[in-house]
Amino acid sequence: MKTIYLLIISLPFLSVAQSFNATNEAAIGSLASLHLCDSNANIQANIMGANATWNFSQIAGIFGVTKDVQILDATQDPNYASFAGSTKMYDIGGNLQTFYSSSPNGRISQGFVFNEVSLGAVVASWNVNQENLMVYPLSLASNPLIDAFSGTVTSTATGTLPATGSSVTMVDGSGTLLLPGGNSYTNVMRFHLKDSANASVFGTNVAFVRNVYEYYDFTVSNMPIFITMSVDVNSALINNSSTIILSKDQPITFVGDTEINLPSIHLYPNPAVHEIQLDGVIIGDEYAITNIAGIRMNSGSYKGSIDVTNLSTGVYLLQINGQTLEFIK
């Protein structure tokens, strides 16, 4: 694993008391139930440096919906074979599972799993060159950490493909976090992870881009108290983006499910034999079906079902109402 340290002199990196280290790393079994928030909110990415103030006090939520953020035993996970050497699995709301191991020197990631609307479960395994997430102690005074990693990306739609990637991790700010209900946390560090994995699918480059901001106050918990996370899939064939925002404190205003980036269309049966049906669309909605190479195989208006009898056995993408869903024939 080749690691490069990058000095950014434009940020006022000052010595601070708090840092990520082996003593405050969350243990297996750690759990935080965080409130699901409006994913269209400003994530305040540009607020960095010392004495920062991140004001999420007015963020809206989804009434009654929480997501568990937890540290689990990686060796007990069904996907462990793809992440040999990992000891912990960091699960953000069931949306993203990061496998990693830790030592007194820092954290190393063996890869991650996430569910993508058009590809299904994507297993990114850095089984050739692992990803360096942290070098302890990590604080605002630390230089950003740039790393290169490689391995494979596997999904039902693509099979197993070689992949390479790069990442940047850092504490990019410290200061005060304002959350709903008038709650103020004045001893906060923000950890920022951005990484991109690239694979070639039928000669077309596909980039899996993850961008995560986690806010920690170790006087409150060893788990994050606020998270913003986006996962984008970018290519000439597929362009999908999903965002999740989670808060320790419950918002006092609320929006509907349609105002956040949650999948709203359900396709069944999958695998299909003669026809597929859709929940979350209406009669007359226009659709198109392409194969994984992007060649259009069928199109029309939804009439309560879609006949797929004449499609050959394989993996297909259904595009409707701005969403892409994968199914198997």
Closest to 214 (Cα-Cα) out of 228, 196, 233: 228
Q: What is the pTM of this model?
A: 0.75
Q: CA distances (Å), 230 to each of 145, 213, 239, in order? A: 20, 9, 13
d(CA 82, CA 74): 11
Element (H, E) at 148: strand 145-155
Q: Domain extents for the chain? A: 3-259, 266-328
Give the side-chain half-sphere CA count within 13 A for 266. 3
pLDDT tens, per residue, the chain with 329 residues: 444 443 333 333 333 458 999 999 999 999 999 999 999 899 999 899 999 999 999 999 988 889 999 999 999 999 999 999 999 999 998 889 999 999 999 999 999 998 776 677 889 999 999 999 999 999 999 999 999 999 999 987 788 999 999 999 999 999 999 999 999 999 999 999 999 999 987 788 888 899 999 999 999 999 999 999 998 888 776 777 888 999 999 999 988 654 444 446 778 888 888 999 887 788 888 898 887 667 888 989 889 899 999 998 877 888 887 677 778 88
Taking domain 266-328, whether its CATH number is 3.30.70.3280 is answered by no
d(CA 42, CA 212): 14
Q: What pLDDT does 293 receive?
A: 65
Q: What pLDDT does 52 receive?
A: 96
